[in-house]
Structure 1
Amino acid sequence: MERRWISGNDFTLLENGEEFFPRVFDCIAKARREVVVETFILFEDKVGLQLKAALIAAAKGGAQVDITIDDWGSPDLSEDFLGALRAAGVRVHSFNPGPRPFGLRPHLLRRMHRKIAVIDREVAFVGGINYSADHLGDYGPEAKQDYAVEIHGPLVAEIHRFCHAALAEGQRYQREKRQWWRSRKHIRAAPDSVPPQGSADAMFVTRDNRQHTNDIERHYLIAIRSARKRIVIANAYFFPGYRFIKELKRAARRGVDVRLILQGQPDMAFVKTAAGMLYHHLLHAGVRIYEYCERPLHGKVAVMDDDWCTVGSSNLDPMSLSFNLEANVIIRDRAFTQTLASNLDKLMCSACNEITEQSLGELKGWPLVQSFLAYHFTRRYPRWAQWLPRHVPRLLPAAPSASKPVLSTAFGDTAREKG
């Protein structure tokens, strides 16, 4: 799909599940023609049950409803849950399902990590928020800090086309192709374009393992090189490639105010260790680093200067930049960029600890060796990743877990990792 700037869009920033879930569930439930949802994680907790109810309401109202879940990220859905969706006419697709020998899930490097919803080709949602209760504040100390955007305008048509192309590509490899096409509902024809709804220019950028292997990282690098005043990147899993680190250091040295908001209370222990190995290199170049300490940071957002920002699913680590299927929206709009920048400024002032070279202490001994290896690993892994098998995405009907799923807040970390 051609990457191009599309004008005439309107964006609303949605922070955490408290803002995101009510909007997306309401739009889905009121759908008249069509709902397409992609998500890495869907849990059978109170949020997953609300999504199920909204999807069923849309299907019973006459809309064609497709939801794609990742087999690695959403492994524990019961037959009751899936059966109720199927009975209402909802088509539930599982991305790259496969055998689970000894309960293991071997598709760690084959993940559909996108979070997208398109309703009636009129509104779309893109971001980093999964359909799980750990995106709500009442989940407790492990509740995630995250973002999504609600989109109106011509970009919705671009996202709609992408989602249907992804469904068609995945279904090309289905074993029960004839059954699925027989059950396909007719969609009323929609115009080729969606009328303008605002003043924002925007681009929908994805990453896959064939045609668009580095598009998201490339657009980050273009924006970093062009920045003249400020760069603020808030990212949950920060361990980018060598070029990325080099460009951040160059920006700081030419006088750009470069700030990173990273996890201070990570949901996985190694996350802070991996990022921390790069701290000395970045701080020495003048990059300012803030650790968000209220709860686990799950966001994947950035602001550059006054009118460029991005919100999406892509972390800045080897998994997202070299393996996962990801989707980000890049926005050129002064008002929306200011809204996101103000949110991140508030985060830095009220919920973060700034890391300094003095607080880190001298780098020597084993930490020095670790830092050296980590820094030079970032120079090599993109090249290594090119030699790994590039899988063909498959979509199959979602199958229930062989074991009874655990509900509510009792989910283990295995499926929730790096969502």
Structure 2
Amino acid sequence: MAIFFLVLLIIFIWMIVDYKLGRFFHIRRMKKRSYPTRKSDIALFITGQKLYDDLFYEIKNAKKHIHILFYIVKDDNISNTFLELLMDKAKQDVEVRLLLDRIGSVNLTKLMIQKLKDSGVQFSFCHVPKLPFIVYSINERNHRKIAVIDGKTGYVGGFNIGKEYLGQDPKLGDWRDYHLRIVGEGVQDLQTQFLQDWKKATKENALDNDAYFPQQLPGKHEHSIVPTHGVFLQDVFIDLIRGAKSEIIIGTPYFIPSRKLFNEILQAAKRGVNVHVIVPMRADHPFVKEAAIPYFKPLLQAGCNVYRYYYGFFHAKVIVVDGEICDIGTANFDKRSLFLNHEINCIITDRPFIDEVRESLLRDIDFSEKVTMDFLQNRSILQRLKEVFSKLISKLL
């Protein structure tokens, strides 16, 4: 028995050292990437059906090249429809590159991968776990969702590909998410980021191919694309919160901020900013709901409002500040997005578009239950124990 526990202790220590060293060397080699302010026409999708209808239409009508990166593509009917579309276009001599996260899309079968390649789709997994820091690399995921069609139409946001995003998972119900369609100058930045991720995964450098960057006319919405790599995201969020004068609305499926970021929210409330946080009532992963609850009491004590969305599952990643600046993308308001995942967000400063996003969030609040002190004080002992455990592992949730 003593040997057994010694082995467990050695494994535990090795995992901690692996993670710490992996994180250390990752930070050392990461450089901050930034894209300039652009002008594009931007459309908002909050249901999977409308997004898929639009995206699939663009794929069907692609003439030259299709570049797509998702964190998750499932093994189900809608995923197969999506993959069949890509295979059909590849057979029509359209260049198709499909990049998927190795862990997020683990359910994609070897048979389907071979079918994709046989049809002419250029396929690769990214962020494949590897030595010497296997524990860290398993957790360092590419969480981005990027689609670029003919270099002219781009998509970025919270949706992946699977039946649950159409509301077809009975445990989660209707799926609420925020996703953007971008046409205009900003597409070149989505294209650049995709090709950088593609190069890292495949060693193929297509960044200098002008065919992937057709000339784009400016649109009406001012914005900038912001990629992060397990670093820099905390600074982005803190800058947004520090700039708030009257109102912050945060929508996120996983509210597990760092201490520094959480303190900025409390400081904003202290200086009179109205803070609203929307989270889901249901959970799609173990312990993430429990990990958020310990933050609720300090928020309520500071005068903030917390809402639990009950009309299905709330997966949106969105921040609106003062009705003047809006952040929508792939990054959750949690430690995994802050310190592990590679993410991509879009910061928008166009007031009419932000008004649309804000109105959508207010409708989401209408379908939410407001968290009260009574709710927090009446939690069971089992619930509180789950929360303690969730806090211990919150960096990896």
Q: TM-score when scaled to structure 1?
A: 0.78
Is 235-244 or 267-276 further displaced after alignment? 267-276
Q: Please state whether the residue corresponding to 1:139 is helix, strand or coil.
A: coil
Separation in 2, partners of 1:327, 1:157: 14
Other-structure match for 2:308:
291
Measure how far apart 1:239 and its partner are: 0.5
Which residue is equivalent to 1:21? 52
2:159·2:178 contact (CA, 8 Å) conserved in 1?
yes
* Alignment of 1:348 onto 2:359: no
Give the length in aligned residue pairs: 361
Measured in 2, the distance between the counterparts of 1:94 and 1:131 equals 15
| Residue 361 (structure 1) aligns with | 377
After superposition, residues 220-235 of structure 1 pair within 5 angstroms as: 220-235=237-252
Deviations 1:206-258 (CA, angstroms, capped at 9, x unpaired): 1215xxx12x3222211111111211111011101112111111111222111
Q: Given the alignment of the two structures, is residue 203 of structure 1 paired with residue 224 of structure 2, yes or no?
A: yes
- How has the CA–CA distance of structure 1 residues 200 and 361 changed in structure 2, closer, same or farther, with 3 Å as cutoff? same
Q: Secondary structure at the match of 1:239?
A: coil
What secondary structure, in the 3-state scheme, does the structure 1 residue paired with 2:139 have?
A: coil
Query: What percentage of aligned pairs have identical amino acids?
Result: 26
> What amino acid is the match of 1:194?
Q
Give the CA deviation at 1:15.
1.0
CA distance in structure 2 between the partners assigned to 1:4 and 1:270 by the alignment: 35
Q: Does 1:46 find its partner at 2:93?
A: no
What's the CA shift string for 1:356-385, capped at 9, x where partnerless?
A: 22332289999899989988999xx7xxx9
CA RMSD of aligned residues (A): 3.0
1:96-107 equivalence runs, <5 A: 96-97=127-128
The match for 2:296 among 274, 279, 299 is 279
Q: Which of residues 270, 287, 291 in structure 2 aligns to 1:253? A: 270
Q: Separation in 1 of the partners of 2:392 and 2:128?
A: 34
CA contact under 8 A between 2:223 and 2:348: conserved in structure 1?
yes
What is the alpha-carbon distance in structure 2 between the residues aligned to residue 7 and residue 97 of structure 1?
A: 33
Letter in 1 for 2:78: V
**Residue in 2 aligned with 1:264?**
281
- CA distance in 2 between counterparts of 1:339 and 1:365 reads 42
Corresponding residue to 2:43 among 2, 6, 12: 12
Gaps of 5+ in 1: 173-179, 386-417
Q: For each residue in 1:75-107, what CA deviation from the matched residue of structure 2 results, as whole angstroms up to 9, or x when unmatched?
A: 1222432222212210110113359xxxx9995
Query: Does structure 2 retain, via aligned residues, the 8 Å contact 1:9–1:199?
Result: yes
Q: Partner residue of 1:165?
A: 196
Aligned to 1:408: none
Q: Is the 8 A contact 2:250 2:276 kept in 1?
A: yes
Structure-2 residue corresponding to 1:118? 148
> In the superposition, relative to structure 1, how do residues 105 and 232 fare at CA in structure 2: closer, same or farther (>3 Å)?
same
Shift of 1:53: 2.1
Aligned partner of 1:323 in structure 2 is: 340
C-alpha spacing 1:50/1:30, structure 2 compared with 1 (3 Å): same
Matches of 1:314 and 1:149, distance apart in 2 = 14
Specify the alignment match of 2:163 in structure 1.
133
Q: Which residue of 2 aligns with 1:239?
A: 256
SS at 1:74's partner residue? coil
Alignment pair present for 1:80 and 2:111: yes
2:211 to 160, 169, 189: 189
2:356 maps to what in 1?
A: 339
Question: Closer, same or farther in 2 for the Cα pair 1:107/1:45, shift >3 Å?
Answer: farther
Instruction: Classify 1:43/1:224 alpha carbon distance in 2 versus 1 (closer, same or farther; 3 Å).
Output: same
Q: In the alignment, residue 109 of structure 1 is paired with which amino acid? A: N
* Deviation by residue 1:98-153 (Cα, 9 ceiling, x = unmatched): 59xxxx99954121111110111101100111111110123334243212100011
Query: Equivalent residue for 2:22?
Result: none
One-letter amino acid of the structure 1 residue matched with residue 211 of structure 2: A
**Residue pair 1:277, 1:374 contacting (<8 A) in 2 also:** no
Is the counterpart of residue 149 in structure 1 residue 170 in structure 2?
no
Residue type at the aligned position of 1:154: E
Name the amino acid aligned to 1:224: I
Equivalent residue number for residue 389 of structure 1: none
Correspondence 1:34 to 2:57: no
